[in-house]
């Protein structure tokens, strides 16, 4: 028996009730509240050193990192919708391909960001208004954080994949691991080794790599014991298929525009605070982290609704495609648009004939068969969904008549209606 991806206690294959929605939404809400906790922990650890310049540098560096990383937030939000639709359509191959494709894409983007960091970081701080001391601290923090770029973007993809399958508790567990490792490493590097802003950055980068590793283990648990066979079954053509890539790019465009517009406002706010000095910049950063907690928490129920809706959309699309081929659906739509009244009338008459034939007894059917054609020996009737076959040869022979002609559905129905 083949295992369905996403099946289990934490899957989305449940009845849509308030209790079911809440059971799947609360892990997302808590997990979303933990997303900005990484920045809060960084600010709290570096703030306890009493160095306002270091805190201001971390604040400005966190703004740059947020602008860079969340530009690719489609790796979480877009992958959630695509995975839900594939699961709803029952396409387990595409579910697996979406995971591999998105993780590899996130890792590749992260490596490119790491390679381009000598160009990106100076350019970003040339745009922002900051004192030389604050800018130096911020650059150190950003360089350290970019070492975790492949892990962070790969974790975005895994988080979105788990949410798309409805495995919200697993996603919450991975997020808790990320925050726990981040807290421990920040305390070790800053308070233990005295590395300052660089220690905060390296601690968070290592925590993101840890989250990627734990996330992969969570994906292995979702896929079950046959994950090796499923992974080996993915071909290069499947991973590089043009249609899924187009869908991912189309999702990217809308989400990226929305995210860049939002991040541009946050960056302007941070830059305005930096013009007032290190202390106002640090204070504004702490306040923005609190705002981020409430904003992320409010995304819990919309994320659950979006995943559920996309799953149902994929299921309906699969049923529609399985019911009729595309050319027949196009012709049917054209006929409904051009001849709506004629189709409604014909459909009503046919339904009445079908109901009359279905409710008739065996004797009435045989009588209608023989009255329509005395030489009939068999009948075949299609009543819409099912093919009803009846052998009337015995009845014909008992009446001294034989034959092997096949009657059409319309002649049989007309005979029955004429009783």
pTM for the full model? 0.69
Q: What SS3 class is residue 71?
A: helix
Q: How many CA atoms lie within 13 A of 329 on its CB side?
A: 9
Give the pLDDT mean for 307-336: 56
Residue 200 has a pLDDT of: 94
Domain around 366: 340-417
Question: Where is the domain boundary, 266, 291, 323?
Answer: 323
327: left (phi over 0), alpha (psi -120 to 50) or beta: alpha
Q: What SS3 class is residue 258?
A: helix
Residue 5 domain-assigned (yes or no): no
Residue 294 predicted with pLDDT over 60 = yes
Give the pLDDT mean for 167-192: 92
Residue 38 has a pLDDT of: 87
Top pLDDT among 163 and 384 is at 163
User: How far is Cα 206 from Cα 148, in angstroms, rounded to an integer?
Assistant: 6
pLDDT confidence band for 303 (50 / 70 / 90)? low
- Give yes or no: residues 347 and 318 share one domain: no
Residue 184 has a pLDDT of: 94
Residue 383 domain-assigned (yes or no): yes
Q: What is the bridge-based pairing of β-strands 387-390 and 376-382? A: antiparallel
Residue 24 domain-assigned (yes or no): yes
CB neighbours (10 Å) of residue 276?
12
- Give yes or no: residues 155 and 190 share one domain: yes
Residue 334 domain-assigned (yes or no): no
Looking at the 3D structure of the chain, how many domains does it have? 2
Nearest residue to 166 (alpha-carbon basis) of 107, 83, 267: 83
Residue 335 domain-assigned (yes or no): no
120-129, 152-161, 243-252, 379-388: which range is least confident on average? Answer: 379-388
Q: For 327-369, what is each residue's pLDDT tens digit?
A: 566 666 655 555 555 555 566 666 666 666 555 555 555 555 4
* Dihedral sign (CA 117, 119, 120, 122): positive
Top pLDDT among 72 and 319 is at 72
- Give yes or no: residues 316 and 400 share one domain: no
User: How far is Cα 68 from Cα 263, in angstroms, rounded to an integer?
Assistant: 9
- Give yes or no: residues 60 and 108 share one domain: yes
- For 152-171, give one letter per residue: b (16+ CB within 10 A) or e: bbbbbbbbbbbbbbbbbbbb
- Give yes or no: residues 198 and 269 share one domain: yes
Residue 321 predicted with pLDDT over 60 = no
User: How far is Cα 56 from Cα 276, in angstroms, rounded to an integer?
Assistant: 11
Percentage of residues in the chain having pLDDT higher than 90: 26
165, 5 in Cβ contact below 8 A? Answer: yes
Residue 379 predicted with pLDDT over 50 = no
Question: Where is the domain boundary, 323, 357, 391?
Answer: 323
- Give yes or no: residues 114 and 221 share one domain: yes
Give the pLDDT mean for 365-393: 44
Residue 383 has a pLDDT of: 39
Residue 387 has a pLDDT of: 35
Question: Where is the domain boundary, 293, 323, 353?
Answer: 323
CB neighbours (10 Å) of residue 188?
13
pLDDT confidence band for 296 (50 / 70 / 90)? confident
User: How far is Cα 196 from Cα 58, in angstroms, rounded to an integer?
Assistant: 10
Residue 40 predicted with pLDDT over 80 = yes
Residue 280 has a pLDDT of: 84
pLDDT confidence band for 104 (50 / 70 / 90)? very high
272: left (phi over 0), alpha (psi -120 to 50) or beta: alpha
Residue 396 has a pLDDT of: 44
- Give yes or no: residues 44 and 192 share one domain: yes
- Give yes or no: residues 290 and 170 share one domain: yes
- Give yes or no: residues 214 and 153 share one domain: yes
Residue 406 domain-assigned (yes or no): yes
Residue 118 predicted with pLDDT over 50 = yes
Q: For 244-271, what is each residue's pLDDT tens digit?
A: 777 776 766 777 787 788 888 888 888 8
Residue 367 domain-assigned (yes or no): yes
Residue 62 domain-assigned (yes or no): yes
pLDDT confidence band for 311 (50 / 70 / 90)? low
- Give yes or no: residues 318 and 347 share one domain: no
Judging by beta carbons within 10 Å of its beta carbon (0-12, 13-18, 19+), is residue 89 exposed, middle or buried?
Answer: buried
- Give yes or no: residues 283 and 377 share one domain: no
376, 392 in Cβ contact below 8 A? Answer: yes
pLDDT confidence band for 403 (50 / 70 / 90)? very low
Q: What SS3 class is residue 318?
A: helix
Residue 203 predicted with pLDDT over 50 = yes
- Give yes or no: residues 352 and 273 share one domain: no
Judging by beta carbons within 10 Å of its beta carbon (0-12, 13-18, 19+), is residue 225 exposed, middle or buried?
Answer: exposed
55-64, 81-90, 158-167, 298-307: which range is least confident on average? Answer: 298-307
Give the pLDDT mean for 236-247: 77
């Amino acid at each position: 028996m083949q295992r369905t991806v996403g099946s289990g206690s934490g899957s989305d294959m449940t009845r849509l009730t308030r209790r079911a929605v809440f059971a799947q939404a609360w892990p997302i809400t808590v997990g979303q509240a933990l997303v900005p906790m990484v920045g809060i922990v960084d600010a709290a650890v570096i703030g306890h050193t009493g160095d306002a310049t270091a805190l201001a540098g971390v604040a400005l560096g966190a703004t740059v990192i947020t602008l860079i990383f969340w530009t690719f937030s489609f790796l979480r939000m877009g992958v959630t919708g695509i995975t839900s639709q594939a699961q709803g359509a029952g396409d387990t191959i595409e579910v697996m391909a979406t995971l591999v494709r998105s993780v590899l894409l996130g890792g590749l983007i992260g490596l490119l960001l790491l390679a381009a960091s000598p160009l990106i970081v100076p350019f970003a701080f040339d745009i922002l208004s900051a004192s030389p001391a604050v800018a130096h601290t911020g650059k150190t923090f950003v360089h350290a954080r970019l070492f975790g770029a492949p892990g962070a973007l790969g974790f975005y993809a895994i988080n979105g994949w788990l949410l798309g399958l409805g495995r919200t508790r697993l996603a919450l567990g991975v997020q808790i691991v990320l925050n726990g490792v981040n807290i421990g490493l920040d305390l070790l590097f800053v308070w233990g080794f005295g590395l300052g802003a660089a220690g905060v950055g390296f601690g968070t980068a290592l925590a993101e790599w840890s989250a990627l590793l734990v996330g992969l283990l969570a994906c292995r648990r979702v896929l079950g014991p046959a994950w090796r066979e499923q992974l080996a079954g993915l071909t290069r053509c499947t991973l590089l298929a043009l249609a899924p890539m187009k869908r991912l790019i189309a999702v990217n465009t809308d989400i990226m525009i929305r995210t860049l517009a939002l991040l541009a406002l946050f960056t302007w706010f941070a830059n305005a605070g930096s013009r007032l000095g290190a202390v106002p910049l640090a204070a504004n950063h702490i306040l923005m982290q609190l705002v981020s907690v409430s904003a992320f928490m409010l995304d819990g129920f919309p994320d659950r609704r979006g995943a559920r809706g996309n799953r149902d959309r994929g299921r309906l699309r699969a049923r529609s495609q399985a019911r009729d081929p595309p050319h027949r659906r196009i012709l049917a739509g054209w006929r409904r648009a051009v001849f709506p009244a004629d189709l409604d009338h014909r459909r009503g008459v046919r339904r009445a004939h079908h109901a009359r034939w279905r409710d008739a007894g065996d004797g009435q059917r045989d009588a209608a068969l023989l009255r329509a054609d005395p030489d009939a020996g068999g009948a075949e009737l299609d009543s819409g969904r099912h093919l009803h076959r009846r052998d009337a040869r015995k009845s014909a022979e008992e009446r001294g008549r034989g034959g092997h002609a096949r009657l059409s559905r319309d002649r049989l129905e007309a005979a029955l209606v004429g009783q």
